[in-house]
Amino acid sequence: MKRLTFIAISGVFITALVAISACGSRAKMETCKVVEIEDAEFEVEFGDVDVEGGEVEMVCGDKIVDVAWNEFRDQLKIDPGKFKNNLEAFKRQFTCMRDERSNKKEVFCNAPGSSDEFVVLNFSYDD
C-alpha cells in the first residue's frame, strides 16, 4: 500500500512539475509602438563609408528596435517611405509584437484584414 501511495504522489508531483515548466516557457508578447520612420544614413570617415538603409524605430516593452524598410516592403507590402510625412497613417497599417522571452531579433506583425496571419520581421537593436 505504501508503494502505491508513493507512486501516486510521485505521479501527481511530476505532472505538476511538467505543467509549471510548460507555463514558464510560454511566450510573453509585448505590443510594439512606432516612434519614427528614419531615412537612410551615410556616414563617411577617413577610409570608411558606412551606409545604413531606412529604418522604422519601434519601442517593444523596454527594448528599442530598428526594422529595415525592406522588411516592411517584402513581408507586409508596405513602403515606409510613402508615410514619412504621416506617421499616424503609417501606424494604422499594421500591428507588431515581440516575444519578451525570446533572444531572437524578430517581431511578429500583421496588417489589418490579414485574418490574424502574422509575418516575421527581423530587427536590430537601436544604436
Per-residue pLDDT of the chain (127 residues; tens, 9 = 90+): 555 554 545 444 455 444 444 455 567 889 999 999 998 766 666 666 555 679 999 999 999 999 999 999 999 999 999 999 999 999 999 999 999 999 999 999 998 777 678 999 999 987 6
Domain annotation covers residue 50: yes
DSSP secondary structure code for residue 40 in this structure: P
Q: Which amino acid is at 17?
A: L
Domain annotation covers residue 11: no
Whole-Å CA distances, 17 to 3, 5, 13, 61, 97: 21, 18, 6, 29, 29
- Note the pLDDT of residue 112: 75
- Note the pLDDT of residue 13: 43
- Note the pLDDT of residue 51: 54
Host domain of residue 43: 28-125
Domain annotation covers residue 46: yes
Domain annotation covers residue 119: yes
Cross-strand partners of 67: 56
| pTM summary value | 0.70
DSSP secondary structure code for residue 106 in this structure: E
Domain annotation covers residue 77: yes
- Note the pLDDT of residue 31: 94
- Note the pLDDT of residue 49: 57
- Helix extents (H) in 1-119: 2-24, 69-71, 87-91
Domain annotation covers residue 14: no
Domain annotation covers residue 88: yes
Q: Do 70 and 108 meet the contact criterion of CB atoms below 8 Å apart?
A: no
As for how many domains the chain has, the answer is 1
- Helix extents (H) in 25-84: 69-71
Residue 21 sits at φ, ψ, to 5 deg, of -65, -40
Domain annotation covers residue 40: yes
- Note the pLDDT of residue 16: 44
